[in-house]
Structure 1
Amino acid sequence: MGNRGVGFIFKLIEGLAPIRSWVVLTIDAILSLFAGSFAILFLEFALFNGRNVGVLSLWFVVQFVLAGFLRVQKYSWRLFSARDSYRLGKSLLVVGPASAVMLAMTYRDIEIVKFSILASFMAFFLMATARLVVRLAFDSVVRTSSIIRKETGKRVLIVGAGRGGASLSQKLALEGYDVVGFVDDSWAKRKMQINGFKVLGRSCDIENLVKGFRVDEVIIAIPSISKSQLKKITDECLKAKVQFRTLPSIKEILDFNQSPDHLREVKVEDLLGREPIRLDKALTRSEIKDQTIMVTGAGGSIGSELCRQILEFGPRSLIMFERSEYNLFHIERELRRRFPNANLSAVIGDICDEVALDRVFLKHRPKILYHTAAYKHVPLMEESPREAIVNNVFGTRGLAQAAVKFGVAKFVMISTDKAIRPLSVMGYSKRLAEIITQDLAAKSETSFMSVRFGNVLGSSGSVVEIFRKQLAEGGPLSVTDAEARRFFMTTPEAVELVLHAGSHGSNGSIYMLDMGESVKIYDLAKRMIDLADPMGQKNIQIEVTGLRPGEKLKEEILWEGEDLIASNIDHVSMFKNIVSIQGLELGLSKLYRCIHSTSGQCGDELKALVNTIDAMENIRRPLTKKDPEVAYPAFSSPAVMARVANQQA
């Protein structure tokens, strides 16, 4: 067949895409009629006997309806495999006995039951054969027809010779790419041919294969790939100075409805830190389902993700409380589109407005409250300590008191690792917010708990977002200190921990997720430059600017003196220090007068109050005594408890 003929066939197939299911059902119906007719002839029935025509018609109707119900028409013909054949056969194993029962009940004849079984078997044979023929024809055309090769002819190497890679190889070939072959670390796949393309080697051979086959792009086709595997493969691609992309992960496919063959750039979030921790969602679902939930700061990075995940658990209603009209508008539109049946209330308000809080609590009567509203940017809060205190301290206090007043069952507050041995105004303000909620935990029926985070990847104002903007502008990337280190976690992980604390947490506790090893910001900047410019053509530089006011060189995750208790979840630590300080209210009153004075040193008053309370609670010293700037290493709860016990001994 010439190029014009092949081109016409492919255009015809593309044109039939909108009605593909009906076309497939029609073909299957024709094949089923052939199968039924063959069964009648084989059993030596009288073909034109009126009764047998009725038998054939009834069998055909049952076959057609059940096949449609079991979505047999959805199985891909172009990528038909042994697994699809098994699924098709399993579907027809349902259809065959069902049609036999229907015919037996109608005609009460054992010969007709034989007919049904034979006809169903023949239908499976014809359907599977038709799909296999189409698959083989497509494979042949992909490999040999020049019309599929467009003028660009980009040469690609696929990493991963599994089902994802096999499917992708066909798709890329049809779109005009020149697939040179696969690499795969499985010894069982060495020198195999998949869709006519060879497995050329392992991931460690990428550099040599790129040079030997003049590869233009490497595509990573392993949806279940781990962070360590992905980092290893991207390092090989960077050594080879070749462009690379990846398929979405299984989590992205399941959680965000991404197409399994949707190629995207490798993001730094894919490589940073250790493997994500998956928490048990069963108890979280039982706690949230049919409850009235309120989220403050609902338009922010954490607040908006909280709203998304909460709605997956089927709450009775969700109240989104947010000061920014712009942010609230966008998250409400998104959620109403994604969850059209959800009971949503978008409320513009400020946690510092007592009347606004009373009105929303009185109207909606939430039972669980997630408090994410806060000022979080360290240098800005150093310049505006009063605003940090008003919002993070007294806003939290007013919200917590309203929660107690209106009978909220659980109050979960977002805190920060910067509240550990704080140095900045922001860190001190969040530490005081922790103390306030712990004080209320000892005095009220409402359960209060806090969750400490490291830096959240991709959140507004995060270092990753700043670097992305600087990369878009051509650099340089600004790093405060070459030795500065931070802990990182992804937004979904952070939100899972918040929801977990709300369902598993105990009153007065502070939770911290094992965030793995801290990351050197300078290395993060280099990695992002490599990902943005793997060929090394843009010469993007890194500029060291010096630490800003309030910033630590290295963050910590634990103080000695905090009462460490084993949590019931791996990789999650719990600190339980319920405080009820008689001088707390007096200190808050003094701080309140200070923020309403034009001459008061609010930041100094804040630090003095927190230091006084922590000194009373013996929470003063960093866990690492020799070097106070070295963050404590990655931990799991039992390991930390053992180390603390050894130090105390």
Structure 2
Amino acid sequence: MDIRFTRRTAVLIFWDIAATFLAYYFASLLTGLAHEVFGTHEIYFLLGAAVVVNLSFFLAFQLYNNLWEYASVDDALRIVVAVSISTLVTAVFLWLMGHWIPIRVYVGALLLMVFFTGGTRMLFRVMRSKSREFELVKHAEMRPRTLIVGAGETGSLAIMRMASKDPLMPGEPIVAVDDNVSKRKLRVHGVPVLGTSEDIKNLVDRYGIEQIVVAIPSASLEQRRRIYQICTQTDCQLRTLPNVRELRVDEIEDVSLREVDVADLLGREEVVLNTRVVCGYISGKTVLVTGGGGSIGSELCRQMCTVAPWRIVVFDMYENDAYLLRNELMSQYDDVDVVVEIGSICNFERLRDVFEKYRPSVVFHAAAHKHVPLMEMCPREAILNNVFGTLNTVKLSDEFGVDRFIFISTDKAVNPTSVMGATKRMGEMVIQHYAQESKTVFAAVRFGNVLGSNGSVIPIFKKQIAEGGPITVTHPDIERFFMTIPEASRLVIQAGGMASGGEIFILDMGDPVKIVDLAKSLITLSGLKVDEDVRIEFTGLRPGEKMYEELLMNEENTLPTKMKGIMISTGKEVSYSEVGSKLSELEAILSGTDEEAVEVLERVVPTYTLTRNVACAN
């Protein structure tokens, strides 16, 4: 019997006990049997049995786990059934024990119990409704004339909420469109469906539309992209909302409009985790995530919480992000123990303390220096953190018998032209080196840019747009692979369950995207015009930067896996002794100069092509 004892639960239980006494007292009073019932010793048996039976059935019918602010007719029926059965069981039990109470008392008590217990719970819904009305008055604002794209379940919700002047969905619903032609000229909550997505521009002009709400979450990605492109050709503010079928009951009333993001244009079809594979190695286990406060590390933690690990240890140098993540996860997943440990992967003894204290079964190694231009200026720091920080984590995982170790790599490790890429390639070699001898399953996952990560191109572009421009792009032809942070994290977790040792998994990044096209999309989504409102300037390639990213080295091929979106590299393995020799060379150069460090890095990573415009800082 699953019950969470909160303050509200305690209050409800106390009230139900009091309601039981009141119900039988007033039932006896109203039936004229107060003296016969309450004037004898039978009352002690009656009230004691009634309280125990009532609470037992209320627990069984989940009357203490419901969010009564969102109570429905089904919830009210559940109260009636629970009270009816508990009253019947009480009557039969007392009769069998030889305690006779008139039937009229039970009937009256049943009706009063429904009133007392049901009325109290329904009061939560009334209070919430009044609270929302108060917020509406408090935050009243001009509502933009709105066109809704989609006349299905989600579109219907949007129209209904706007029509009721919900502050979370500001807008006056004027007209709707739907690509299902059978819905044409129908009305959804009084709003006419006057065409398909091809009619959006004409309807915007005809009805003076100021806002477009895209409410078709179940449409294919290509359909959504096409509709977004049509909408961006208007001057309207463009917004969307999530699929109501994917929301819990308690989330539906709080769902709000959000601006369409570039991820909506570049994203792919939703990746669904194979929970059987993932649960098999994460559920009930202690998982350590290095760099756990970062963009990828934090999302790995969020995704893993859904499959019930025993504990997640967030290890990070930066306490602010780690602290915020811990608070977020603890508020949403009270069945997962989330702890934060502050430290650097370069500090072997500190890292050892964490392994000794928590004994993790799974390690996701996401900690790394990742910014290409900065690492060109600080190559020894890149080597120290990305190579020897990884080596420290790998050594301790091997020593403490970690079951699985997943290394987060990058497409910049493929035929690298940057210090960062070369150090990540060396990290892959370390993984393959230890996989040959260790009982721990070591594997790497390689993928490209993620949308919206800390310090990545999209937040920078958004800041430049907010400042009025210009947006700076290094070259008109430069391309990058992009993937959303949640999708990348889900695939990394999935790949971890597929690993058997030494693999380099490669995520299917789709087609590369021109950075200049990304910049133009962001300007348009902001309601501005390219060149007219915000200019784009080309600044030239930075040190270590490639024109095009790759996912495979020259000698590599890929094999498909059973999981869509994940491939395995078939490149040649690095010999055990060879990696040890490379690590010795790199360790010796840490006390040298930056120029020497770059030269040694070029020697130990054969695929590294040194760009001679590296800016070294000694």
| Coarse TM-score class (shorter-chain normalised) | 0.7 to 0.9
Deviation per CA, 1:140-181: give whole Å up to 9, x if none. xxxxxxx9xx89453211111122222222221232843222
The DSSP-based 3-state class of the residue aligned with 2:534 is coil
Q: Which moved more, 1:242-251 or 1:587-596?
A: 242-251
**1:422 — aligned with what?**
416
Preserved CA contact (<8 Å) 2:156 2:188: yes
Deviation per CA, 1:318-368: give whole Å up to 9, x if none. 222111233323222333333344323321111111211222222221121
Determine the C-alpha separation between the residues in 2 that align with 1:511 and 1:160.
Answer: 39
Calculate percent identity across the aligned residue pairs.
40
Q: Which moved more, 1:307-316 or 1:507-516?
A: 307-316
**1:596 — aligned with what?**
591
Q: Which moved more, 1:498-507 or 1:572-581?
A: 572-581
The DSSP-based 3-state class of the residue aligned with 1:501 is helix
Q: 1:578 aligns with which of 553, 573, 579?
A: 573
Q: CA deviation at 1:455?
A: 0.2
Determine the C-alpha separation between the residues in 1 that align with 2:152 and 2:594.
Answer: 68
Q: 1:611 aligns with which of 592, 606, 613?
A: 606
Q: CA deviation at 1:583?
A: 2.9
Alignment TM-score, normalising by the size of structure 2: 0.76
Indicate how the Cα distance of structure 1 residues 600 and 72 shifts in structure 2: closer, same or farther if over 3 A, else same.
Answer: closer
**1:342 — aligned with what?**
336
Deviation per CA, 1:570-595: give whole Å up to 9, x if none. 22101244322433322321222112
Preserved CA contact (<8 Å) 1:295 1:372: yes
Q: 2:377 aligns with which of 375, 383, 400?
A: 383
Determine the C-alpha separation between the residues in 2 that align with 1:86 and 1:359.
Answer: 53
Indicate how the Cα distance of structure 1 residues 101 and 162 shifts in structure 2: closer, same or farther if over 3 A, else same.
Answer: farther
Deviation per CA, 1:426-477: give whole Å up to 9, x if none. 1111011101110111121111100011101111011111111111111111
Determine the C-alpha separation between the residues in 2 that align with 1:489 and 1:271.
Answer: 11
- Which amino acid is 2:388 matched to? F
Determine the C-alpha separation between the residues in 2 that align with 1:371 and 1:471.
Answer: 34
Deviation per CA, 1:176-207: give whole Å up to 9, x if none. 84322211111221111121221111111011
Indicate how the Cα distance of structure 1 residues 546 and 151 shifts in structure 2: closer, same or farther if over 3 A, else same.
Answer: closer
Indicate how the Cα distance of structure 1 residues 180 and 250 shifts in structure 2: closer, same or farther if over 3 A, else same.
Answer: closer
**2:390 — aligned with what?**
396
- Which amino acid is 1:608 matched to? R
Indicate how the Cα distance of structure 1 residues 88 and 169 shifts in structure 2: closer, same or farther if over 3 A, else same.
Answer: farther
**2:159 — aligned with what?**
169
**2:364 — aligned with what?**
370
- Which amino acid is 1:407 matched to? G
Q: 1:155 aligns with which of 145, 150, 157?
A: 145
**2:552 — aligned with what?**
558
User: Is 1:406 matched up with 2:400?
Assistant: yes
**1:307 — aligned with what?**
301
Deviation per CA, 1:588-642: give whole Å up to 9, x if none. 2122211212475111211211107x9xxxxx9xxxxxxxxxxxxxxxxxxxxxx
- Which amino acid is 2:377 matched to? E
Preserved CA contact (<8 Å) 2:346 2:384: yes
Q: Which moved more, 1:457-466 or 1:283-292?
A: 283-292
**1:215 — aligned with what?**
209
Indicate how the Cα distance of structure 1 residues 592 and 163 shifts in structure 2: closer, same or farther if over 3 A, else same.
Answer: same
Q: CA deviation at 1:280?
A: 1.1
Preserved CA contact (<8 Å) 2:212 2:238: yes
Determine the C-alpha separation between the residues in 1 that align with 2:163 and 2:175.
Answer: 11
**1:57 — aligned with what?**
none
After superposition, residues 456-495 of structure 1 pair within 5 angstroms as 456-495=450-489
User: Is 1:194 matched up with 2:188?
Assistant: yes
Q: CA deviation at 1:419?
A: 0.8
The DSSP-based 3-state class of the residue aligned with 1:208 is helix
Task: Extract unaligned runs of 5+ from structure 1.
Answer: 1-21, 23-47, 51-60, 77-83, 124-146, 615-619, 621-649
The DSSP-based 3-state class of the residue aligned with 1:156 is strand
Deviation per CA, 1:299-331: give whole Å up to 9, x if none. 111111112222222222222211123332322
User: Is 1:237 matched up with 2:237?
Assistant: no
Determine the C-alpha separation between the residues in 1 that align with 2:248 and 2:489.
Answer: 17
Indicate how the Cα distance of structure 1 residues 251 and 526 shifts in structure 2: closer, same or farther if over 3 A, else same.
Answer: farther
Preserved CA contact (<8 Å) 1:253 1:259: no
Deviation per CA, 1:283-302: give whole Å up to 9, x if none. 21221112121111111111
**1:435 — aligned with what?**
429
Preserved CA contact (<8 Å) 2:63 2:79: no
Determine the C-alpha separation between the residues in 2 that align with 1:521 and 1:507.
Answer: 36
After superposition, residues 254-265 of structure 1 pair within 5 angstroms as 261-265=255-259
User: Is 1:287 matched up with 2:277?
Assistant: no
Alignment TM-score, normalising by the size of structure 1: 0.72
Q: CA deviation at 1:231?
A: 2.0
Determine the C-alpha separation between the residues in 1 that align with 2:593 and 2:528.
Answer: 54
After superposition, residues 172-187 of structure 1 pair within 5 angstroms as 172-175=162-165, 177-187=171-181
Determine the C-alpha separation between the residues in 1 that align with 2:250 and 2:314.
Answer: 21
- Which amino acid is 1:529 matched to? I
**1:133 — aligned with what?**
none
Indicate how the Cα distance of structure 1 residues 95 and 236 shifts in structure 2: closer, same or farther if over 3 A, else same.
Answer: farther
What RMSD, in angstroms, separates the aligned Cα atoms of the two structures? Answer: 4.4
Determine the C-alpha separation between the residues in 1 that align with 2:598 and 2:384.
Answer: 11
User: Is 1:331 matched up with 2:321?
Assistant: no
Determine the C-alpha separation between the residues in 2 that align with 1:414 and 1:256.
Answer: 36
Indicate how the Cα distance of structure 1 residues 186 and 260 shifts in structure 2: closer, same or farther if over 3 A, else same.
Answer: farther
Preserved CA contact (<8 Å) 2:528 2:534: no
Preserved CA contact (<8 Å) 2:520 2:530: no
Determine the C-alpha separation between the residues in 2 that align with 1:405 and 1:267.
Answer: 45
Q: Which moved more, 1:152-161 or 1:423-432?
A: 152-161
Deviation per CA, 1:552-573: give whole Å up to 9, x if none. 1111112342253332212210
Q: CA deviation at 1:532?
A: 0.6
User: Is 1:545 matched up with 2:539?
Assistant: yes
User: Is 1:269 matched up with 2:263?
Assistant: yes
